[in-house]
Amino acid sequence: MSHLVSANELAELIRAGGVRTLDVRWKLGRTDGQDQYLAGHVPGAVFVDLKDELSRHGRPDEGRHPLPSTEQVQNAARRWGIDDGDTVVAYDDAGGGPAARAWWLLRKGGVDVRVLDGGWAAWQAAGGDIESGSVEYTAGTVTLDDISADSLTIDDAAAFPERGVLIDVRAAERFRGETEPIDPIAGHIPGAVNLPDTVHVAEDGMLRDLDEIRAAFAEAGVTESTPVAAYCGSGVTAAHTALILAEAGIDAKLFHGSWSQWSNSPDRPIATGE
């Protein structure tokens, strides 16, 4: 089963009344995600606050978007109106990372969840119906399993290159340590390999052909039999790479603390260059 849906498939699900849609419009440094949602969104979609509902507020040495508790995500999912057995589709307007963050957490919790391929732009391009204003539902009754499965601690991430491939999905110049616009130190986790998340997405925001994607992962040393984990700046974009890996038939783990946690931990070694 695919972890993605097309705009047309989502429209069919909405017409059939068999889906709960989540609008996860968030970008680093932007505060108008909810304003954008209120101005226009997929009919029936509820707004999801990535910072408050899909992340936990923590110390700098825990990263910018620490893994939330199962209880926190469950309470949010119930606010979104999700019941046990519901199908959920998430979308964003930021390349898939925010929606994939919702996908990762809900999937680990046992929910049938997909991501809209191409996000909000794809919905608009397909001529999908748009409604404005806020959507609220009667509280749902979903019960989530433990969402921490397949999530790495910082010690797990440090040891991972000894047994598998740790993918750094940030831009190449950040991986090499040539620039760091956000975190306190430039560079990468020793032993990690660089495969930017953007290489898997076409110019229109849609996922590239799976054969191309598998070839890119294979070049980075990743196959279906390879233990693999991903990290990025703060754990959001890495969730999108995990989604793409799942779509290619490869299970991945995720280091939610990512570079924001590693670079705020003074005792951790820093690598630069290729």
Minimal CA–CA distance to 269: which of 190, 203, 191?
190
pLDDT single digits (tens) 146-174: 999 999 999 999 999 999 999 999 999 99
- Catalytic residue of the set 73, 90, 169, 232: 232
Say whether 230 sits in a helix, a strand or coil: strand
Q: Determine the Cα angle at 171 with ends 169 and 173, to 5°.
A: 130
What pLDDT score does 27 carry? Answer: 86
pLDDT at 81 over 80: yes
Torsional sign, CA 195, 201, 207, 208? negative
pLDDT at 129 over 90: yes
Structural contact between residues 116 and 7, judged by C-beta atoms closer than 8 angstroms: yes
What pLDDT score does 18 carry? Answer: 81
What pLDDT score does 123 carry? Answer: 98
54, burial (CB in 10 Å: exposed 0-12, middle 13-18, buried 19+): buried
pTM: 0.96
What b/e readout covers 120-130, taking b as 16+ CB neighbours within 10 angstroms? bbbbeeeebee
Minimal CA–CA distance to 26: which of 168, 237, 206, 253?
237
What pLDDT score does 67 carry? Answer: 95
- What average pLDDT does range 3-17 have in this prediction? 97
Please say if 72 is a catalytic residue: no
Banded model confidence at residue 58, pLDDT cuts 50, 70, 90: confident
Banded model confidence at residue 32, pLDDT cuts 50, 70, 90: confident
CB under 8 Å to 148, separation ≥6 — which residues? Answer: 67, 70, 108
β-sheet bridge partners, residue 112: 87
What pLDDT score does 51 carry? Answer: 93
Q: Are β-strands 46-47 and 193-194 bridged in parallel, bridged antiparallel, or unpaired?
A: unpaired
- What average pLDDT does range 230-244 have in this prediction? 97
Structural contact between residues 188 and 272, judged by C-beta atoms closer than 8 angstroms: yes
Q: Which architecture, in CATH terms, is 154-262?
A: 3-Layer(aba) Sandwich (3.40)
Q: Report the phi/psi class of residue 187: left, alpha or beta, with left for phi > 0 and alpha for psi in -120 to 50.
A: left
Averaged pLDDT score across all residues of the chain:
96
Give CA separation, 222 vs 166, 229, 245, in Å: 9, 10, 10
Q: Which architecture, in CATH terms, is 4-125?
A: 3-Layer(aba) Sandwich (3.40)
pLDDT at 28 over 90: no
Judge whether 4-125 and 154-262 match in fold: yes
Q: How far is CA 272 from the centre of its chain?
A: 25
Residue with the larger pLDDT of the pair 30 and 251: 251
pLDDT at 31 over 80: no
The neighbour count for residue 110, using CB atoms within 10 Å, is 14
CB under 8 Å to 38, separation ≥6 — which residues? Answer: 47, 132, 133, 134
β-sheet bridge partners, residue 23: 47, 91
Radius of gyration of the chain (CA): 18
Percent of the chain with pLDDT over 90: 93
Domain definitions of the chain by residue range: 4-125, 154-262
